[in-house]
């Protein structure tokens, strides 16, 4: 798992126009290969809904009414705010996802801060510090 | 809408009671609740159409904690896992205890932990099914969260709903839950191996179910002794 995450991290660090198929394949491969059962016994927060499989690393903080899964990996020290929904996605370490955002088939890079709220995105890579929807549309990398 | 109003709506949504809404937002709350119910029903219909199109049979199972839903599913899986390719979706507030028990009988299981939600809804099932290769299955069971109240609000898109009660819950359990029996196709009264000792009025339970829903089929079973498990499978047309 760690090796595949490192490879994905490396590729999303220097995205090119022709990386789309590679990213999509790596995401699918990771989710199908490394996720099977839930590993959700270590989060901080109340009672989110988990659709198997969901894998949480240590010190993940989760808000109210959050729906995670199926096929979600969340790296350590990340924070998911209220009403967020995430499926088929990899969230790397130390990521912040603001309220009521909906992510499907996404890769969110290490230390990314998605401060803006009420966004609904699919099939994309997001890396950086995003304070508004305008910021998001400037940096979002759609792979489908 | 102001932040205060948003907070109020969220609070009411959590409490699931329109009566608590302030007068100025009452209409909005009612409309929102109606829309959510409508969306759930629409999604459930789409799911059922898709499953039917693929020739996949689907049954959801509702009942209180400890009624015997999982025990019956184990018995059914044990008998049918060679005949059908079975997927069982298990709903629970937390843990994977039920899915682990059922999985031992050679069927694929997927656990949904609902956290604070007291029932599965059509969106949960949609999320599971859209991520599965449905060509791998002929039969899908959905075991709802152990609860006799909330599941009656949410259709899940199955062909058939089976409600399980047990004689240990007392003879009034059916009479006290009309909605669930109105929308069920099969009512199972389980743990009949304990009938002599408990003396529960099982005829009253059966009559109550039929009074609420004249079309409901009532089967009295014991998952422990296997009594009428084969009859139940026949009643489910499997």
- Give exposure, A34-57, as e/b (b: 16+ Cβ within 10 Å): bbeebebeebeeebbbbbbbbbbb
Tell me the per-residue pLDDT of B205-215, one tens digit each, with 9 for 90 and over.
999 999 999 99
Q: Chain B partners of A48 at a C-beta cutoff of 8 Å?
A: 115
**Number of domains present in the structure of chain A:** 1
On whether the CB atoms of residues A90 and A5 are closer than 8 A, the answer is yes
Take residue B161 and report the two structure tokens written for it: 């709903």
What are the Cα distances from residue B211, in Å, to B171, B204, B215?
A: 14, 10, 9
Q: Check pLDDT > 90 for residue B133.
A: yes
Mutate to test the interface with B, among A52, A80, A122 (most CBs of B within 10 A): A52
CATH code of A34's domain: 2.160.10
On whether the CB atoms of residues A29 and A4 are closer than 8 A, the answer is yes
Sheet holding A113-114, edge to edge: A44-45, A61-62, A79-80, A96-97, A113-114, A129-130
Q: Check pLDDT > 60 for residue B230.
A: yes
The residue with greater pLDDT, A83 or B153, is: A83
Domains (range + CATH), chain B? 1-53 (no CATH), 56-235 (3.40.50.300)
Q: How many A-B residue pairs are in contact by the CB < 8 A criterion? A: 44
The residue with greater pLDDT, B5 or A138, is: A138
Q: Check pLDDT > 70 for residue B121.
A: yes
What are the Cα distances from residue B218, in Å, to B130, B174, B189, B214, B221?
A: 33, 12, 7, 10, 10
State the Cα–Cα distance between residues B112 and B95, nearest whole angstrom. 9
A71: nearest CB among B114, B115, B131: B131
Q: Check pLDDT > 90 for residue B12.
A: no
Tell me the per-residue pLDDT of A84-101, one tens digit each, with 9 for 90 and over.
999 999 999 999 999 999
State the Cα–Cα distance between residues A102 and A23, nearest whole angstrom. 20
Q: Give residue A144's pLDDT band: very low, low, confident or very high (50, 70, 90).
A: confident
Tell me the per-residue pLDDT of B65-117, one tens digit each, with 9 for 90 and over.
999 999 999 999 999 999 999 999 999 999 999 999 999 999 999 999 999 88
Radius of gyration of chain A, Cα coordinates, nearest whole angstrom: 14
Q: Is A98 left (phi over 0), alpha (psi -120 to 50) or beta?
A: beta
Tell me the per-residue pLDDT of B163-203, one tens digit each, with 9 for 90 and over.
999 999 999 999 999 999 999 999 999 999 999 999 999 99
On whether the CB atoms of residues B81 and B113 are closer than 8 A, the answer is no
In the predicted model, what is the mean pLDDT of chain B? 92
Q: Check pLDDT > 60 for residue B37.
A: yes
On whether the CB atoms of residues B184 and B164 are closer than 8 A, the answer is no
Q: In which domain, by residue range, is A122 found?
A: 2-142
A73 φ/ψ angles, rounded to the nearest 5 degrees: -115, 130
CB of B3 within 8 Å of any CB in chain A?
A: no
Q: How many CB atoms lie within 10 A of CB B37?
A: 13
B96: nearest CB among A38, A46, A71: A38
């Amino acid at each position: 798992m760690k090796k595949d995450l490192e490879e994905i991290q490396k590729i999303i660090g220097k995205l090119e126009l022709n990386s789309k198929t590679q990213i999509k394949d790596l995401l699918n491969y990771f989710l199908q290969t490394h996720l099977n059962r839930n590993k959700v016994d270590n989060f901080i927060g109340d009672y989110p809904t988990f659709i198997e499989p969901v894998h949480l690393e240590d010190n993940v903080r989760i808000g109210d009414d959050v729906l995670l899964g199926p096929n979600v990996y969340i790296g350590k020290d990340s924070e998911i705010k209220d009403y967020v929904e995430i499926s088929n996605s990899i969230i790397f370490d130390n990521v912040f996802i603001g309220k009521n955002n909906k992510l499907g088939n996404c890769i969110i890079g290490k230390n990314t801060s998605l401060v803006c709220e009420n966004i609904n995105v699919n099939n994309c890579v997001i890396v950086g510090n995003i304070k508004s929807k305008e910021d998001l549309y400037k940096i979002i990398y759609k792979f489908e | 809408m102001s932040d205060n109003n948003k907070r109020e709506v969220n609070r009411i949504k959590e409490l699931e009671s329109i009566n608590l809404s302030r007068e100025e937002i009452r209409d909005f709350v009612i409309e929102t609740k109606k829309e959510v119910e409508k969306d759930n029903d629409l999604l459930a219909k789409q799911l059922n159409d898709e499953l039917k199109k693929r020739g996949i049979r689907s049954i959801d199972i509702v009942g209180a904690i400890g009624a015997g839903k999982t025990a019956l599913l184990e018995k059914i899986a044990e008998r049918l896992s060679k005949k059908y390719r079975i997927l069982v979706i298990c709903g629970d507030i937390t843990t994977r205890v039920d899915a682990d028990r059922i999985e031992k009988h050679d069927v694929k299981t997927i656990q949904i932990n609902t956290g604070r939600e007291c029932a599965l809804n059509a969106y949960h099932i949609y999320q599971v099914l859209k991520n599965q290769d449905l060509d791998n299955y002929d039969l899908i069971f959905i075991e709802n969260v152990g609860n006799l109240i909330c599941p009656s609000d949410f259709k899940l898109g199955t062909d058939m709903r089976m409600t399980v009660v047990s004689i240990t819950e007392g003879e009034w359990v059916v009479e006290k839950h009309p909605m669930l029996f109105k929308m069920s196709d099969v009512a199972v009264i389980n743990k009949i191996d304990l009938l002599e000792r408990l003396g529960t009025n099982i005829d009253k339970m059966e009559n109550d179910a039929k009074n609420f829903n004249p079309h409901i089929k009532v089967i009295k079973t014991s998952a422990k002794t296997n009594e009428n498990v084969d009859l139940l499978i026949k009643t489910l047309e499997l």
